[in-house]
Chains A and B, each alone.
Chain A
Amino acid sequence: MSRIGVFICHCGENIARTVDCGAVAEALREHPGVVVAEDYKYMCSDPGQQLIKKAIADNDLTGVVVCACSPHMHEKTFRRAAAQAGLNPFVVEMANIREHCSWIHDDRGEATAKAIDTARTIVEKVKHNKPLQTIRIPVTKRALVIGGGIAGIQAALDIADGGHEVVLVEKEASIGGHMSQLSETFPTLDCSQCILTPRMVEAYQHPRIKLYTWSEVEKVDGYIGNFSVTIRRKARSVDEDLCNGCGDCQAACPSRRIDSEFDAGLSRRPAIYTPFPQAVPNMPVLDREHCTLFKGRRKGLAKDACGKCKETCLKGAIDYDGQDTFVTEEIGAIVVATGFQLYDIGREQPAGLKGYGEYGYGEVPDVIDGLQFERLASASGPTGGEMLRPSDGAEPKTVVFVKCVGSRDPEKGMSYCSKICCMYTAKHTMLYKHKVHDGRAVVFYMDIRAAGKGYDEFSRRAIEEDGAEYIRGRVSRIFRDGDKVKVWGYDTLSHRQVVVDADMVVLATAVRPQPGIGELAQKLSVSYDQDGFLNEAHPKLRPVETNTAGVYLAGACQAPRDIPESVAMAGATAAKVLGLFSADELERDPSVALVDERTCIGCFNCEHVCPYGAIEHRDVCDMEGHVCGHVAYVNPGVCQGCGTCVAVCPSKSVELAGFTDDQVYAEINALAGW
């Protein structure tokens, strides 16, 4: 026999203004199975919770309904209170009479009637609630960090310093990411390499960080606390244990005309190369696509066409026959920090993007993007830090910077703001003016977005102290005119056309997620938005979590981020991971799906629609132990209780604990008055 207590909260005036809480209590007192119904001004306060606890003890309640706010707000509060009074927390339910009732209605009579109906519905549900036990699953206390840029390095260091092992996977030959390419960083203009490289070395030498460079995540199995991750170690052709990083192989390599990725195509590198002098690990990789030997092998030449690097290597570290290998790591939590790429505004455009042919990119050599400018300004760059333009190596006397190329342009590019361009363009003008004192820096902008500590001051400094000329307006065309680059623009403040004869143009191109992010997201069962950025679980309250438990986001894989934000996110993910690792077992909400093996027909539609990969196949055996069929099984560690499987199951063989058919049916019946 049910003995239900109903507790109606006024929420100060939030509910009581439109709902007559006393009348709700009075009506519910008459409802079958309800033994106590009371209203109180703030049910979530300590006296309110005491009221509930006392009622549970005095009336020997079997279920509790709290008519108050959204369960997202206070369900945990009231379940905890009930547990303290000795009741199973999962027989406590919230009836939302605030967001679903008082806040959206004006008529007091009607709102009160609706609140009563809502309460009755939940009372009927609670009559069918069963005590549930929190799910406990073991935790492997090792973290995987995907991406070795500043966010990934920071997350790895924070977790490792917290006492747990970290596997750091980087797809390039060195960690460091985009930050290692930058010259100086806003808003302090300190040298990017100088602040980054110590971190890179620290990560490399950390006793609890296992670094896999030139590697990618191949497969992710399992669930929070219990992932099994297969990592593809791409054939490096250089034995990491033997190589001492002397660089002789690079000097010997005859293929020397390959565009350097690190210098954003502004310099050339050999086929066997260390990406940059401060690379970590300081060890070359053989680019098999461009290597003469491998080109020959692909053509089917009987004899290897080259072999200079192997001949030169005193350590015998070069291995032309190495293949990709796979390692499997047991992991408890995953931090995704795959970072960004710049919008490529060359002729070749990815599907769905139109490109900016009118800006002459790729055709006019002196039209470059922001990352290329960073390399030109960098002391370790192709010009040794001298400001020289790519076409003829002359010092550019007029440089035009165009912001929002691809950003905030739903028609041709992306609708979002790339966030970092305002600041780095301001920085670029300063770097330029500091090197070319008599030069002109002209900036075409839509808005100056400089929200951040010291950011507005910084961009003002570019204009007021360093004399950057900011023109509010867009650029319509950029083309070559003799040895000049002609820029046609429009000043929307003075309503006049502007033509600048520039020596070099820097396009602040949009920030986009890394290529392949979609495939990685699918491996991790993490959703992503229309632009490809990974989705956080809640934009405000769970910004570094994803909807897949145990997978966290740091840096620009989630949205355009600058360095301070990426580092802060990395620290936040580390806090989440360390929190997860603080207990030997992990507690999970028991609201998970459960398959009735007697009626499941094994159509596995549930498996196809499960966003979390929680559905597994289980064999069904006959009395003699022969496999006679397959049914679905929900892994409770992975299931997030979304109920999608329940909806698609044709034979109604899946139920969600806490939201069973019985409970939902009782609710519908209560509403229908049956």
Chain B
Amino acid sequence: MSELQDTARRLLDEGLVQVVIGWEEGPRGARPVFVTSAADCERLIFDARCVHNLATFLNPRRSQITALGKAAVVVKGCDAKAVAGLLREAQLERAGIVLIGVRCGGVAGEPATLAPPALSAETVSARCWGCDVREPESVDMLVGEAQPEPPVTADLDERVAALDALSPAERFAFWTKELSRCTQCYACRQACPLCCCERCIVEKTEPQWIETSPHPRGNFAWHLTRAQHLAGRCVGCGECERACPVGIPLGLINRKLQQVVYELYGYTVSEDPAVPAPIGAYATDDTQDFIE
């Protein structure tokens, strides 16, 4: 912990950055914090409750944050992949940010606790299953102790497989039920580090592709469009699902997309921004099976 605080303090002291974006102790577990003075660095923490993907705050269109000056961001493996996504899509310049990597052994499924829970197959977040990044590589500095692999839980994949096993009608019924609760509050979008458009497609009115009233028709259009836009870009950080006030299992959609993108393009989200994502790549030998 003190290593993280010391690093942040040094960055601020030396004027290398003007703000350090990290986590602090909140009333209901960890919460994001924007530390702008060296004295406040003692507030910084990192433990299994630090689920928030802080890359979200690097969106260049969040002017209240960019106004703070050059930022250092504390990143877990999944967060580093999101930063790579922003770099890949020219939303950031690598030299314009400092990345403080934290060694992460998984985060909690229920992070709103006063003390960090011991991670087990029951308590670990579903997002961590299959995560192979103990130490993010693309960072400027790395802090914390070496971490074990997160406890194994195939929860998300099992649920995706169960959905895949349903008939189309049953699956449609499942999603109709889930999506009927959506109020189109767009918390999922706001929490997503890669939803960084100036004007979201849902706000486009001429023509209005997506019905914005919380009717299943518009809800389907919204979530399917969002899924399409995140295919091959989603890092699986699970923040959309955590942000959803009505508990829609968006993680299922994201995981299914990851599987499809892998099957079609052999691509898994990379921490290296130089590796092109399928959406931003054109190759003459791209599969065209979908035309047949």
Residues of chain A at the chain B interface (Cβ within 8 Å): 527-528, 530, 598-605, 608-611, 629-630, 644, 648, 650-653, 661-662, 665-666
Number of B residues contacting the other chain (C-beta, 8 Å)? 23
- List the B residue with the shortest CB-CB distance to A605: B280
B200 at interface (Cβ–Cβ under 8 A)?
Answer: yes
* B7 at interface by CB-CB < 8 Å: no
Pair B282/A662 contact, Cβ less than 8 Å: no
| Residues A603 and B207 in contact in the complex (CB < 8 Å), given A610-B282, A648-B279 | no
Extra pairs beyond A604-B89, A609-B282, A661-B206 (15, CB < 8 Å): A599-B197, A601-B196, A601-B197, A601-B198, A605-B89, A605-B280, A608-B276, A608-B280, A609-B281, A611-B282, A629-B60, A652-B209, A661-B207, A661-B209, A666-B207
Known A-B contacts A603-B90, A662-B206, A665-B207; the reply to A608 vs B199 at CB < 8 A is: no
Q: A652-B204, A661-B207, A662-B206 are in contact. Are A604 and B90 (CB under 8 A)?
A: yes
- The answer on a CB contact under 8 Å between A598 and B198 is yes
Contacts A603-B89, A665-B209 given; indicate if A651 touches B280 (C-beta within 8 A): no
The distance from the CB of B14 to the nearest CB of chain A, in whole angstroms, is 27
Residue of B nearest to A617 (CB): B90
The answer to whether B197 touches A650, judged by C-beta atoms less than 8 angstroms apart, is: yes
Bound together, the chains give a CA A331 to CA B90 distance in angstroms of 32
Do the beta carbons of B198 and A527 come within 8 Å of each other?
no
**B177 interfacial contact with A, CB 8 Å:** no
Neighbour of A599 across the interface among B60, B196, B199, B280, CB < 8 A: B199
CA of A603 to CA of B280, assembled, Å: 9
Judged by a CB distance under 8 angstroms, whether B229 is at the interface is yes
Q: Name the one of B91, B198, B280 contacting A648, with C-beta atoms under 8 angstroms.
A: B280
Which chain B residue shows the least CB distance to A521? B284
- B198 contacts A651, C-beta separation under 8 Å: yes
Contact B198 A599 (CB under 8 A): yes
Q: Is the CB of A530 within 8 A of B229?
A: no
Bound state CA distance, A610 and B196, in angstroms? 22
| Dominant SS among interface residues on chain A | loop
B280 contacts across to A, CB distance below 8 A: 603-605, 608-609, 648
A651 and B284 in contact, given A603-B91, A661-B207 (Cβ under 8 angstroms): no
Q: Is B263 in contact with chain A by the CB < 8 A criterion?
A: no
Q: Determine which of B89, B199, B207, B284 lies in contact with A527 in the assembled complex, contact meaning CB atoms within 8 Å.
A: B284
Residues of chain B lying within 8 A (CB to CB) of residue A601: 61, 89, 91, 196-198
Contact A650 B282 (CB under 8 A): no
Q: Are B279 and A528 in contact (CB under 8 A)?
A: no
A530: which B residues are within 8 A, CB to CB?
285
B201 at interface by CB-CB < 8 Å: yes
Nearest CB of chain A from residue B225's CB, rounded to whole Å: 10
C-alpha spacing A269/B280, complex, angstroms? 49
Task: Give B contacts to A, CB under 8 Å.
Answer: 60-61, 89-91, 196-201, 204, 206-207, 209, 229, 276, 279-282, 284-285
Which residue of chain A has its CB nearest to the CB of B233? A650
Contacts of B61 in A (CB 8 A): 601
Residues of A within 8 A of B206 (CB): 661-662
- Asked whether A651 lies within 8 Å of B90 as measured between CB atoms, the reply is no
Distance, CA A629 to CA B60, complexed state (A): 10
Residues on A with C-beta less than 8 A from B229 are: 650
Chain A: minimal CB distance from B194 (Å): 9
Q: List 21 A-B contacts (CB under 8 A).
A: A528-B284, A530-B285, A598-B199, A601-B89, A601-B197, A602-B90, A603-B90, A604-B89, A605-B89, A608-B276, A609-B279, A629-B60, A644-B282, A650-B197, A650-B201, A650-B229, A651-B201, A652-B201, A652-B204, A661-B206, A662-B206
What CA separation (Å) do A599 and B203 show in the bound complex?
Answer: 11
**A628 closest partner in B (C-beta):** B60
> In this complex, which of A527, A603, A610, A630 has the most chain B Cβ atoms within 10 angstroms of its Cβ?
A603
Residues of B within 8 A of A604 (CB): 89-90, 280
Contact yes or no, B282 A651, CB < 8 A: no
The distance in angstroms between the C-alpha atoms of A601 and B198, with both chains bound, is 6
Looking across the interface, which residue of chain B has its beta carbon closest to that of A629? B60
Complex formed: what's the CA distance from A335 to B206 in Å?
Answer: 43
Closest Cβ of chain A to B69, distance in Å, is: 16
Contacting residues, chain B, for A528 (C-beta < 8 A): 284
B89 smallest CB distance to A (angstroms) = 4
Chain A nearest CB, measured from B208 CB (Å): 8
Q: For A605, what are the chain B residues with a Cβ–Cβ distance below 8 Å?
A: 89, 279-280
B207 near A662: Cβ-Cβ < 8 Å: yes
**Chain A CB within 10 Å — which of B199, B229, B285 has the most?**
B199
B272 CB to nearest A CB, Å: 15
Could you say which of B200, B207, B281 contacts A651, with CB atoms under 8 Å apart?
Answer: B200
> Which chain B residues border A651 with CB–CB below 8 Å?
197-201
B276: shortest Cβ distance to chain A, in Å?
6
Contacting residues, chain B, for A653 (C-beta < 8 A): 199
Q: Which residues of A contact B197 (CB under 8 A)?
A: 599, 601, 650-651
Counting chain B CB atoms within 10 Å of each CB, the highest count among A528, A602, A608, A666 belongs to A608
**Chain A residue contacts of B282, Cβ below 8 A:** 608-611, 644
A662 to B206 CA separation, bound complex (whole angstroms): 7
Q: Closest CB of chain B to A4's CB: distance in Å?
A: 20
Docked Cα-Cα span, A662 to B204, in Å, equals 11
Task: List, in ascending order, chain B residues with CB within 8 A of A611's CB.
Answer: 282
Report the bound CA distance from A598 to B199 in whole Å.
Answer: 9
Bound together, the chains give a CA A542 to CA B280 distance in angstroms of 30
- How many angstroms from the CA of A661 to the CA of B285 in the assembled complex? 29
A177 to B260, CA, bound (A): 48
Neighbouring B residues of A608 by C-beta, 8 Å: 276, 280-282
Closest beta carbon of chain A to B32's beta carbon, Å: 23
The docked-state distance in angstroms from the alpha carbon of A375 to that of B180 is: 78
**Residues of A close to B199: CB separation below 8 A:** 598-599, 651, 653
Nearest chain B residue, comparing its CB with the CB of A644: B282
* Bound Cα distance from A600 to B200, whole angstroms: 11
Residues of A within 8 Å of B200, CB to CB, are 651
**A527 contacts which chain B residues (CB < 8 A)?**
284
B209 surroundings in chain A (CB, below 8 A): 652, 661, 665
Closest Cβ of chain B to A662, distance in Å, is 6
A648 CB, min distance to chain B CBs, angstroms: 6
